[in-house]
Structure 1
Amino acid sequence: MSPEKMVRMANQIATFFETQPDVDKAGRVAAHLGDFWEPRMLGQLRTHLEAGGDGLTPLAREGAERVLAEKERA
């Protein structure tokens, strides 16, 4: 998948959870990414973050960082 599409998808997920009343919005983004993104997509997301994470909204970035940290610990 192109980096642009991946960023757009992550940002769309974050935009959805931004509108929800949950307190831990980044946690919900992380949970969604962990539940629905396959390992290759998460690997591409990790590479994108390591390269600076251009284009990711702050909430998408935080959720991505959380899910990737959780996957490292598992």
Structure 2
Amino acid sequence: MQWKNRGLGKNKNGLALNSNVFAKYILKRVHLVQLMNGQFFAYCFTEGVYLGLDERVLKAICRDILLEAEPDI
């Protein structure tokens, strides 16, 4: 079930990722906003504020969520 929720599947070439399903899943897990200038912010529930994210951190969050479903991706 974790695979399907994240848009992961298998095809003849190995693993496949449905990017639309994965993006929808990320937005359920991480409360993101993007400003007109492209800067991302994520809501921090413990502090009750939005914190700025650079692209590297956002990619790391997405990678960690994928690894929850399949540690060896």
TM-score (norm 2): 0.30
Looking at both structures, which has the greater relative contact order when contacts are Cα pairs under 8 Å and sequence separation is at least 6? 1
* Greater helix fraction, Structure 1 or Structure 2: 1
Which structure is larger by alpha-carbon Rg, 1 or 2? 2
* Greater strand fraction, Structure 1 or Structure 2: 2
